[in-house]
Amino acid sequence: MQTSTLMVIVALFAISAFVLAKKRSREVATIEGGLKKLHSRPAYYGSFAAILAAVPAVILLLIWQAIEPSLVHSLVMAQIPSSTLQAHESMTLLYSQIVHIANGVLKTEDPALLAASEHYHHLQSIGLTLRWVAVLTVSLVGLAAGWRMVRPKLKARHYVEKCLQLFLMFCSTLAILTTAGIVLSVLFEAIRFFQIIPVTDFLFGTQWSPQIALRADQQGASGAFGAIPLFTGTLMISFIAMCIAAPIGLMSAIYLAEYASPRVRNIVKPVLEILAGIPTVVYGFFAALTAAPFIRDVAESIGLSNVSSESALAAGAVMGVMIIPFVSSLSDDVITAVPQSLRDGSLGLGATRSETIRKVVLPAALPGIVGGLLLAVSRAIGETMIVVMAAGLSANLTANPLDSVTTVTVQIVTLLVGDQEFDSPKTLAAFALGLTLFVVTLALNFVALRIVKKYREQYD
């Protein structure tokens, strides 16, 4: 709460700096003979002053927030007698008790802990005061500096654009570092797993039973880590989903972009996109309570026996309905963006509307359509809730869509649910599955980019 209040005050100072500097730039322009005498427009002078009032203060606050906890921890623990430290095995637990005592959550009669909690409370009070004084002082100094620096020759626009460029570079670097951190964290844990389980057993094994036996006579804990059943289930469900989503979504996009009237388009498109706003758990309930029993009854009515109440067909069909808006919306935007001159030229040469769509519009929109299909495939591969509720958790190696199967993402969630120790193959297998999924998705994107590059057509 204290930090958020401080941020609000800094934001008010930045707004004040913007208004005052902009007003002062207009006054200076009036004295100098008009706005044309200024290097930049008044809004840039205001933005420059707002940056000086906000950015240094925010940076100082972030640095303070990062350093203060460890500094307070060191000062508090340094005041605790050695006898008290030796009586506690965990320093982290001891410091947590001191914090709780200082906050009034715990009660104790230990004079050492009471003194440490008072010292902690005293340091927190000093830190809070110094934080407010330092941050507000820096913000006020920036406000005053931005106001005083307003003059005709100040290159405010250059400074503002440079600051925006640095901010964008920071965001890009942060995104890259985040991606690298995720990949490396998964990679290191996967390497630990492959040091225990051979890569060939994982990639080509046909039995998936990640339970590890804790004793010799334990049953049902074979510890088999063959991921072929998981890959098969993932591909089967994703294929069924795309068989439904791709044609329906693409045909819907063609109708809305080329044939529908504006009135129909304004009604149908929002209604279609409502499907994208439905939570996946709702789709899961629908698949488990309606789609799966319906498919089982239909299969039994035509003479098929041993049909599972949870099936890949039910999960894939409902997932395909969920993915339709992704394909439709993206494909519609891409088709609409094709220049009208291409359509007019094709129609002028005597082609029908359907021929124009098939031979001109769709080839021009192919890169965007492929991108939409890729997004839909990624959505299908990463879906978990529908598979859990409609396809089950059984890792069956089968090509029958009426059987119960599971996917890679479902097993990742299952392996990491609850309190787990990250030193057993059972838990580390989740990271191996994640790394495999990442590599497959990366390869899929690479192939798609090659296809798009090959068939992309440039239009003036």
Q: In the prediction, which pLDDT does 290 show?
A: 86
Q: Which amino acid is at 294?
A: F
Tokens linked to 290: 């309606």
Residue tagged 């439904």 (tokens): 244
Residue tagged 């409902």 (tokens): 318
C-alpha 392/C-alpha 378 separation (Å) is: 20
Neighbours of 419 (CB within 10 A): 4
Residue 67 has pLDDT above 80, yes or no: yes
C-alpha 170/C-alpha 176 separation (Å) is: 10
Higher pLDDT, 456 or 123: 123
Tokens linked to 426: 């059972």
Q: In the prediction, which pLDDT does 220 show?
A: 46
CA 39 distance to own-chain centroid: 42
DSSP bridge partners of 222: 212
Percent over 70 (pLDDT), the chain? 91
Confirm if 342 and 360 have CB atoms less than 8 A apart.
Answer: yes
417 contacts: CB under 8 Å, gap ≥ 6: none
Q: In the prediction, which pLDDT does 212 show?
A: 60
C-alpha 411/C-alpha 210 separation (Å) is: 10
Residue 169 has pLDDT above 90, yes or no: yes
Tokens linked to 414: 């299952």
Annotate 156-167 with b (16+ C-beta within 10 A) or e (fewer): bbebbeeeeeee
Query: Tell me: the pLDDT tens digits for 373-426?
Result: 887 888 888 888 888 888 777 778 888 888 888 888 888 888 877 656 667 788
Q: Helix, strand, coil: what percent of the chain each, to 5?
A: 75, 0, 20
Residue tagged 């005083």 (tokens): 148
Backbone phi, psi, residue 209, to 5°: -150, 85
C-alpha 365/C-alpha 342 separation (Å) is: 12
Residue 452 has pLDDT above 70, yes or no: no
C-alpha 176/C-alpha 94 separation (Å) is: 38
Q: In the prediction, which pLDDT does 460 show?
A: 45
C-alpha 433/C-alpha 415 separation (Å) is: 10
Confirm if 73 and 95 have CB atoms less than 8 A apart.
Answer: yes
Residue 341 has pLDDT above 60, yes or no: yes
pTM of the model: 0.70
Query: Tell me: the pLDDT tens digits for 247-291?
Result: 999 998 898 888 888 888 888 888 887 877 888 888 888 888 888
Nearest to 353 by CA among 456, 267, 247, 255: 255
Average of per-residue pLDDT values in the chain? 82
- Which ranges of 349-424 does DSSP label H, i.e. alpha helix? 353-356, 362-382, 385-390, 408-416
Burial degree of 181 (CB within 10 A; 0-12, 13-18, 19+): exposed
Residue 72 has pLDDT above 90, yes or no: no
Sign of the alpha-carbon dihedral angle for 371, 377, 381, 384: positive
Q: In the prediction, which pLDDT does 219 show?
A: 46
C-alpha 219/C-alpha 84 separation (Å) is: 47
Neighbours of 153 (CB within 10 A): 7
